[in-house]
């Protein structure tokens, strides 16, 4: 097996990108929209096993000071072999001049700490979705309940 990373947006198998993301419930877009999402991003990384696309990642950025990572995913059968690290390091490398933010599932918080990320208490988000979807976002911790306050500092009282 020969693994490689591509950081170009052309000639990419966006069907495979869509499939990997869908397998983790990370996208419900059609393939054309998925392609536009990656092509409109500042930086992309795709991991290949020979000529088979097995992982993806993308960054939104101004290219100078701020960046956000999205859609980091690797096909399940390749997990736990250091390939996720290659993918994540590749996308970080492309925005390394920037402050970098991301949000993730509770299960991958410890993993991102290994890449130098620290948790935030003041991140805020507007999510689009129906009541059930927003409820699920709350359950996994993407958003805290409306009006939520941390009570261990004086600023939020
Ligand atoms: C996230 C993901 C890409 C990681 O890929 P992977 O190949 O399993 O990761 P690696 O084997 O390269 O591990 C990278 C490092 O993270 C660590 N790690 C991996 N999963 C971890 C976890 N759940 N908790 C803590 N550390 C973890 C590894 O021990 C390794 O550390 P090391 O390099 O210091 O030894 C993969 O698990 C995935 O696609 N998950 C589903 C999609 C997802 O949840 N994406 C993140 C949300 S944006």
For range 66-79, the mean pLDDT: 98
| Residue 10, H or E segment | none
Helices (H), 25-82: 31-39
Radius of gyration of the chain (CA): 17
* 75-90 confidence digits (pLDDT tens): 999 999 999 999 999 9
- Residue of the nearest CA to atom 13 in ligand 1? 82
Could you tell me the strand order of the sheet in which 66-74 lies?
Answer: 3-6, 43-49, 52-61, 66-74, 99-101
Q: What domains, with CATH codes, occur in the chain?
A: 3-102 (3.40.630.30)
> What percentage of the chain carries pLDDT values higher than 90?
91
The closest residue, in CA terms, to atom 43 on ligand 1 is 73
- Spatial distance between the Cα atoms of 110 and 129, rounded to a whole number of angstroms: 27
Model pTM above 0.85: yes
């Amino acid at each position: 097996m020969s693994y490689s990373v591509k950081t170009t947006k052309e000639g990419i198998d966006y069907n495979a990108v869509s499939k990997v993301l869908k397998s983790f419930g990370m996208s419900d877009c059609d393939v054309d929209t998925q392609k536009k999402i990656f092509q409109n991003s500042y930086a992309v990384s795709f991991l290949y096993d020979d000529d088979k696309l097995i992982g993806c990642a993308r960054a939104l950025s101004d290219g100078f000071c701020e960046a956000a990572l999205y859609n980091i995913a690797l096909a399940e059968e390749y997990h736990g072999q250091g390939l996720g690290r290659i993918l994540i390091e590749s996308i970080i490398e492309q925005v390394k001049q920037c402050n970098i933010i991301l949000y993730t599932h509770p299960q991958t918080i410890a993993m991102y700490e290994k890449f130098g990320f620290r948790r935030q208490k003041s991140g805020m988000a507007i999510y689009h979705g129906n009541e059930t979807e927003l409820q699920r976002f709350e359950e996994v911790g993407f958003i805290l309940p409306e009006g939520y306050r941390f009570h261990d500092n004086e600023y939020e009282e």
